[in-house]
A and B are shown apart, each in its own frame.
Chain A
Amino acid sequence: MMLTLKLAWTQTLSLWRAGTLRVLVFALVLAVAAITAVSFFTQRVASALNQQGGLLLGGDIAVMADHPIRPAFIKRAQSQGMKNIRTYEFASMVIHGEISQLVEIKAVELGFPLRGDLTIGATIDDVGETVKSAPQPGEAWLEPRLANLLGVKVGDEVEVGEHTLRIGAILLREPSRGGDMFSFAPRLLINAADLPASKLIQYGSRVKYQLLLAADPQKVNDYFLKTKAELGRGEKIEDVRNARPEIKSALDKARQFLGLSAMVSVILATVAMLLSSLPYVKQSLDTFALMRCFGARQNTVLQVLALQTLLIAFFSAIAGSALGYLAQMGLANLAGSLFVEALPTLSVAPIWVGFAASMAMMVAVVIPHAWQMRNLTAINILRRETLAQPISAQAKFLPAAIVMAAMIFWQAHDTKIAVYTMLAVLALCVVISGFAYGLVGSVQRLFSLTPQNKTLSSISLGIQGLKRRAGLSTVQMIGFSMGLMVLMLLALIRGDLIQSWQASLPSDAPNRFVINIQPAQITGITQFFAQQNIKDTAIFPMVRARLISKNGELINTAQWQDERAKRLAEREFNLSWAATMQSDNRLLAGRWWTSQEHGKPFLSLEQGLAETLGVQLGDKLVFDIAGNLTTLTVTSLRKVEWDTMRANFFAVTPPGLLEPYAANFISSFYLPVGADAPLNQLVKQYPNLTVIDVAALMQQVRGIMQKMSSAIAYVFSFSLIAGVAVLYAALVATREERIAEATLMRVFGASRRQVTIAYIAEFACIGLIAALVATIASNLLAYYLSVNVLNIPFQFNVTLVLIVMLVSATVVPLAAWLGLRGFLKIPPRQLLNSI
């Protein structure tokens, strides 16, 4: 064993010194670095994003119940060392002098909020300061709107139940304010220690009990899974993903971006590694053939090969992981200023992933050749018949393809995306082979018609090189086109896609909602908006309705397993009506009504809601609207972009149907943050109105988008390096063969010009075919991603395509020529000796 190890070690060292191993190790190190860095990075960013989202929840997760939180849940959190506090939310009246007002009281324990902060000020016009604490016992913090309604200032007293509290501060911003946007009464924040004295919580009170928790992601995840399994009636557990659909949507898209870029790196790194393994495998096989000649037993040779493979994989994995770690440290520095809270600490999991990937890739590369060596006798080797029965290209690349597929599956976390990616890679291979084959044929035909001359003949010879090295040329073109595809996707996604994503939430998107507008107030409010120069105000009607039956069957909430379906079916719907569909909605099935169909009992449902309730196109739903049963037929299904923050409705009917019922109206508009004066005026003029401020929430969403754009650019830089590595490896893979060919051509009298023209022609074709395929593939992929994954419109970028074609058809042959140019100067004799 020691001898085998020694042999493996010395041979690995000689291969390294000879330079054969360098490109392979470089590619492998890069592959591991890309995989570990992306893995480290996505993990940290994902948890940072969760924390970012946690700011809106006030913690990482929240256990909610309509009864006091079970002690078992609290004990579990305490035993895990998780930060935990309780909050209580309920509606009640507060009184100041003669004025009483319905408010939403939130009583919190000291330590609130566990994540994020609050902004408080001394007056309602104050810029305010951010604090990470809650009111002291005996103190209450209230929203500016409530201060206006009650006519109070800091230092005044308010009565809360049987208790009197002093106003300690004006609560200017509370990011953790969750819940149903349309049920907001103004907020009053108090300390939980004051609850008993207030005697507000009695038997039968409707209170939302909440246990907020914060800890590292692993603990949070464990707690979430364990507790979710034990939830009883009236209990639920939420993390940031289901706390707010707007944040969930932004986070999901961010994760998809990151996952995508990680996957691209993995594919590219594997291709680079495969390409650069070819010279290594050839040289090792020669060595092992000789060892067999010198009397080494087959087992010894195979053991040495296995050990050598593991040695290379091991050291590359160490170097790669170290590089990956350094790369993500750079990122952590960058991201430290990007993210509000410190990035969570690292786990070692990505390092194991890097090691596993390194081993798997090396083994996949070596196995087919080891298998081939199995059957060789010493005499085969003596007669230089080592490769008399070459293994087929398919068999040679099959194990590597399996490893790549496994890594795609692992990275994608989604079978559908993984399968699509693999199909895309496969299609890429087929298309490239087809192009190469077709081009060679047509060039041959074309040249047989053209008057012959030396230059044309050299070009033809070069293009025929594609056919001569059909297998390798195809692999090279796949490598080139994947590299290009990444560059193009990078350009498309970084530019167009992210731009469109951010554009889905423009800086002047509505950030204030006014609800509870009465029909008689519409004219006045519209005039008010006009006077205040507030633009883009739309006023939507809302009519409360309860779902009674579907296709003649009474709705029984027990029929749904899904908690969300139950909640949706239990609660009242806000039905709205509209003549045209809102611009940020997209029709998925059925059709929108024509003006002749106004007044007909039609219904357009939001896709997600329809799915949850199991409603299909054509179903008849009966709603109870103010005591009247109305049957509506589902005529269309819509996709709604919830993260645009506009007022949107699950269920919409044509105009002329719901007007007779008592309707409430809602309006949304944009006001710069802090410019609240018109709002206060509006509320004074129409005291029944409730204004909802989502500016803070939108800032969070926009912040996530901006941070993610930077993060994605960083992750894509790995893909970019991997793409360049592929180009380099593809050149190195065939370099030796090309030098041999060029030398022989020169021995037979080819001028350097002829050789140069032949190579430039061959590589120009490789570059052009690769660019063509990359253009088609990247645009299809970008189209698919935009439309189906990211839900943003796709834009075809002609300039980009032209640039890529031009650059690829010039840079690829130029790079190849630069690589071979040196050899064209060396006298052929010296090269003959070395080939």
Chain B
Amino acid sequence: MQQPPIIQARDLYYEIINHDNQLRILQGLNLSIAPGEQVAIIGSSGSGKSTLLSLLAGLDVPTAGNVQIKGSLFSGLDEDGRATIRAKTMGFVFQSFQLLPSLTALENVMLPLQLKNHPQAKALSLEALNKVGLSQRLQHYPKQLSGGEQQRVALARAFATEPEILFADEPTGNLDNATGQMIIELLFKMNAEAGTTLVLVTHDIHLANRCQRQLNLQNGRLEEVAST
């Protein structure tokens, strides 16, 4: 029997008004992702990939349509309701790392755990940083770390909370090839170990091909891409 989807988007619309022009980014988009699935969303720049990801993660709300997480309506909740679901089930990796400059590597990883009031915040963070090979950089601040190291801290932060879903938005976009490759290997390895559902936004077709499914976002709608 097929498992119920962990993420389901129905008839999603997203419009913005820019200088009196209505710009429709998503037009009746439908999507269903099963638990443990690795899904890549590809598309050209400006196609709305990152917008879709924010709607799926509840970082923004659609103009119309809805998003369900584990069968419960998600997009209809208020900001705090969505935040609670995020805290319980989701992790994030961003293109621009999004580490807080005033926190050390360890403190950055601990932050989401502290928000959940996790009793083992420090131990889990140390373990996650150890996994990404940064146990020697615990007390370093982001500005003292290279780009690759910063993204490894972000990976450790994402996996430390043991999320059911990991959203990754162009995780290698700010890195050189070799470093990007290393980050991807680490991401997939950790994802496989934790059995996390992965939603990866990228314009890199090789990276997308590492995922089980590839979806192309074009004209506000998703199309399945046959695996090459």
Contacts and interface: CB of A to CB of B under 8 A. Distances in A.
Most chain B CB atoms below 10 A, which of A388, A454, A741, A749 = A749
B87 A827 contact: no
B60 A827 contact: yes
Nearest to B167: A747
A751 B87 CA distance: 9
Interface in B156-175: 161
A830 B60 contact: yes
A750 B100 contact: no
A828 interface: yes
Interface stretch (B90-98, B198-206, B208-216, B219-227): B90-98
Nearest to B103: A468
A388 B143 contact: yes
Given A748-B86, A832-B98, A452 B59 contact: no
Contacts of A753: 80
Contacts of B103: 468
A106 B56 CA distance: 99
B59 A749 contact: no
Contacts of B46: none
Contact of A387 (B83, B87, B143, B146): B143
A751 B80 contact: yes
Interface in B119-133: 119
Contact of B86 (A453, A747, A832, A835): A747
B114 A749 contact: no
Contacts of A832: 54, 59, 94, 98
Contact of A829 (B59, B87, B116): B59
A390 B141 CA distance: 11
Contact of A452 (B83, B101, B119): B119
Nearest to A471: B102
Contacts, number: 86
Interface in A452-502: 452-454, 457, 461, 468-469, 472
A749 B143 contact: no
A828 B59 contact: yes
Given A741-B100, A744-B100, A749-B87, A457 B147 contact: no
A744 B59 contact: no
Contacts of B85: 749
Given A387-B143, A388-B143, A832-B98, A749 B60 contact: no
Given A390-B143, A468-B103, A829-B54, A750 B115 contact: yes
A749 B79 contact: no
Nearest to B55: A829
Contacts of A744: 98, 100, 111
B205 to A, nearest CB: 25
Contacts of A390: 143
B142 to A, nearest CB: 10
A461 B115 contact: yes
Interface size class of B (residues with CB under 8 A): 35 or more
A753 B146 CA distance: 34
Given A468-B103, A752-B80, A830-B60, A453 B115 contact: no
Interface in B72-112: 79-80, 83-88, 90, 92, 94, 98, 100-103, 107, 111-112
Contacts of B146: 383
Contacts of B88: 749
A384 B147 contact: yes
B147 A383 contact: yes
B117 interface: yes
A744 B110 CA distance: 13
Contacts of B63: none
A744 B114 CA distance: 13
A745 interface: yes
A815 interface: no
Interface string A822-835: 00010111101001
A390 B144 CA distance: 9
B183 to A, nearest CB: 16
A468 B114 CA distance: 14
Contacts of B60: 827-830
Contact of B115 (A388, A740, A748, A829): A748
Contacts of B51: 829
Contacts of B143: 387-388, 390
Given A461-B115, A741-B100, A832-B54, 16 more contacts: A383-B146, A468-B103, A468-B107, A469-B102, A740-B100, A744-B100, A748-B112, A750-B87, A751-B80, A752-B83, A753-B80, A827-B60, A827-B61, A828-B59, A829-B54, A835-B98
29 contacts: A387-B143, A452-B117, A452-B119, A457-B114, A461-B114, A468-B103, A469-B102, A740-B100, A741-B100, A744-B111, A745-B115, A747-B57, A747-B92, A747-B98, A748-B92, A748-B112, A749-B83, A749-B85, A749-B86, A750-B87, A751-B83, A751-B84, A752-B80, A825-B79, A827-B61, A828-B59, A829-B54, A832-B59, A835-B98
| 8 A-B pairs with least C-beta separation | A749-B87, A748-B112, A829-B54, A749-B86, A829-B59, A829-B60, A751-B80, A457-B117
